[in-house]
Amino acid sequence: MIEFSAPEEDAPRLRALGAKPCAGGKWKVARYADYPKFAEWIKGRIFSSETYIAEVGEKCPYCGADVRLVAVALGRYREDLLPAVYGKGEISLLFGLDGLPEDVARTLREEFGIKKRYFAPYGYSLPANGCHACGRIFNDEYLFGGEEAPFGLYSAAERLRLYSLPRGRDRAFGGRVCLSFKRKRLPAPRKLKNSKKARFSRKR
Ligand SMILES: [Zn+2]
């Protein structure tokens, strides 16, 4: 099952296609096989009901302060509305912290201090990892580029801490998968401290 938002005027079309209204003015669709009919409204191309926040402790390369870096990780997932299931026995990291479902973005903001940071060379702001002490931004190249990077295959495996988000419904992610770890090599996921906050949809 997946939930998504849609403009009010689309309600008749959504009903006709078989979506059901639910709390907070959202819509839900029960079967994965029916998701393609709603591609216009469902934002994202990777689907998974098994979401984690992956965290690694690191020294800021600019000022040496202790920082914690986060990435979003998925268990089994499907891509581009195709039937194949990927990531069996693995935990897969997504590039970047943009294009995330609302509840995941909120958890990163409220529980991990991830805020929008201004990328001067590009002229726009995106949610991103940064240093609390010197304010520098850590871009994806630094975070994921190569095996020795903070989230690289070798450096991260032993140090990665996983926090699990509530499961059950599919979430749609806009990013792309960059790296997969064998589950056996990772410690067991922990629950978020304020997991009650990390609900799928915000009640109004
Ligand atoms: Zn710093």
Ligand 1 centroid – CA 157 distance (Å): 23
Ligand 1 centroid – CA 23 distance (Å): 42
Ligand 1 centroid – CA 131 distance (Å): 5
Ligand 1 centroid – CA 71 distance (Å): 18
**pLDDT tens string 1-51:** 999 999 999 999 999 999 999 988 899 999 999 999 999 999 899 999 999
Ligand 1 centroid – CA 175 distance (Å): 26
Ligand 1 centroid – CA 150 distance (Å): 15
Specify the pTM. Answer: 0.89
Could you tell me where the beta strands, DSSP code E, fall in the chain?
2-4, 20-22, 26-29, 46-48, 51-59, 66-74, 78-79, 90-94, 115-119, 124-128, 161-164, 171-173, 177-182, 190-191
- CB atoms < 10 A from the CB of 8, how many? 6
Ligand 1 centroid – CA 190 distance (Å): 27
Q: Where are the alpha helices (DSSP H) in the chain?
A: 11-17, 102-112, 140-144, 153-157
Ligand 1 centroid – CA 44 distance (Å): 32
pLDDT band at 154 (very low <50, low <70, confident <90, very high): confident
pLDDT > 80? residue 181 = yes
